Amino acid sequence: MTATTGLAVTFEGIVKRFGPVEVLHGVSFDLEPGKIYGLLGENGAGKSTLMKILSGYEQPSEGRVLIDGVPVAFAGSREAEAKGIVLIHQEFNLADDLTIAGNIFLGHERRKGWLLDEDVMRHEAEAALAQVGLARTPDTPVRHLIVAEKQLVEIAKALSRKARLLIMDEPTATLTPSEAGGLFRLIERMRTEGITVVYISHKLDEVERITDEVIVMRDGRFVGRAPTASLTRHAMATMMVGREIADLFPEKIAADPNLLPALSVEKFSVPGWASDISFAVRPGEILGFAGLVGAGRTELFEGILGLRPGSGTVKRDGKPIQLNSPRDATRYGLAYLSEDRKGKGLHVDFPLRPNLTLMALERYAKPLLDHEAEQRALETAVSEFGIRAGSLGMKAASLSGGNQQKLALAKVLHPEPRVLVLDEPTRGVDVGAKHEIYFLIQKLAAQGLALIVISSELIELIGLAHRVAVMREGRLVATVEGDEMTEATMIAHATGTRHVAA
């Protein structure tokens, strides 16, 4: 990384409207060069919108942005990047059919006369991948990467733009602790080079660890700032939500051990991902699944629920069932919330109503769709799940990340399943929304649902689950409960740092 100097930024009275809806209300604050800022706020607070204005993806309705004291008005992201301002999006902005190198240099291709200079781009891509610690060749198609690897490509792409001010929106949402540690070391190097970093995250331990100062937004307004060292995590959370937060996790309600398992799986395998996995979950029980990225957790459940080829025995209430498609799973009372809410969880270009009712269309087809009944269902879901929407007719893509997650939860629960698999249910969700989702999960368990929670956040599994199954390299290596359900124990099982009986 060559020596550089960060940018100073001033926001003066920034207002942003989308149609009649005002999402930013006169935001004013400044950023000094060469510092690392934690930008905090609940989903819908306006953080991402403000940063999109800074990086040229949006223009303010009122107010102005100054860079090093000079007013700027970027017509697009390329103009911002020419100034050294680069945004790493929360949701991936990659072309799956291109290679890693093709994505890194898309729109910024290196040329030798009229021809593309493939050798230079490959060499520079290798250097960028080495910086972020991704052990893939530049010629690898992006469609072959897992979610965490795609995130690292996004970071490598941003670094290749010679950023002077780098905006990271939830950059560790899909990273393992080891990968996140590598990113933190890279950010520390950026500080020494004088690069300004805006770090948007709901993981307050990360904000506490790597930032110099915290800036908080709420409901589209700037509400305060303070040196990170002067704030506890509890104080950060309270500033974000504007109220005291009670204990984050609800009290666990013991499941009845005498009940027949709602779902039992015996010797299930998914080619290339999981081998001979057996487990069971009872009504009222929350079973966690832990493991490093690539351990096969997501792929296992995609196989069980008919989303990819798999083999083994699956029983519902003790009776063998055959699941060849998600429709079969719905018919047997099983539902799955994908970790990829935009790619697999929602049709983001559809309005809210069809997103909610898509999995239960039979309920509304008489034989024509009863749109009034669908609308009533949507109004109920918006109220029950606390979905913040400017209009019930808006597209799902216009919701904030946390509200998209709430809509996705409402969607998978709409067919009234009895077994629910939640894959990274709070990824990219703020602390207030996490609190709501945790209590919803406990409420569902109390109502007799059997729940499986796949999560990379071990504290989340410890706080929610009755038992945690740990996977490593496609195998279930341990199931822990009670006093054994600690971060240290689960990390040891997941990494194989001590002998574990399979």
- 300 closest CA partner among 283, 451, 177, 291: 291
DSSP 343: I
Edge-to-edge strands, sheet with 334-337: 334-337, 419-423, 450-454, 286-290, 467-472, 475-481
At 271 the pLDDT is 93
Question: Please, are residues 333 and 316 in contact by the beta-carbon 8 Å criterion?
Answer: yes
At 261 the pLDDT is 95
Cβ neighbors of 175 (< 8 A, separation 6 or more) are 148, 151, 152, 183, 293
At 448 the pLDDT is 94
Q: 3-state class of 490 per DSSP?
A: helix
DSSP codes, 236-284 = HHHHHHTS----SSPPP----TTSPPSEEEEEEEETTTEEEEEEEE-TT
| Structure token digits, residue 256 | 């009845």
Integer Cα distance of 42 and 299 in angstroms: 31
Integer Cα distance of 175 and 473 in angstroms: 16
| Predicted TM-score (pTM) of this structure | 0.61
At 502 the pLDDT is 40
Cβ neighbors of 85 (< 8 A, separation 6 or more) are 7, 54, 55, 56, 67, 163, 164, 165, 167
At 499 the pLDDT is 46
At 116 the pLDDT is 83
At 1 the pLDDT is 45
| Structure token digits, residue 469 | 């199954």
Integer Cα distance of 449 and 470 in angstroms: 22
At 3 the pLDDT is 42
CA 56 to mean position of chain CA atoms: 23
Q: 3-state class of 64 per DSSP?
A: strand
At 178 the pLDDT is 74
Integer Cα distance of 140 and 24 in angstroms: 40
Please list the ranges in the chain whose pLDDT falls under 70: 1-4, 43, 90-91, 174, 243-247, 340-345, 498-502
Mean pLDDT over each residue of the chain, to the nearest integer: 86
Only one residue has tokens 């194989």, namely: 496
Write down all domains in the chain, each with its CATH number in brackets: 9-241 (3.40.50.300), 248-333+418-502 (3.40.50.300), 343-416 (no CATH)
Rounding to the nearest 10 degrees, give the CA dihedral for residues 443, 465, 345, 360: -40
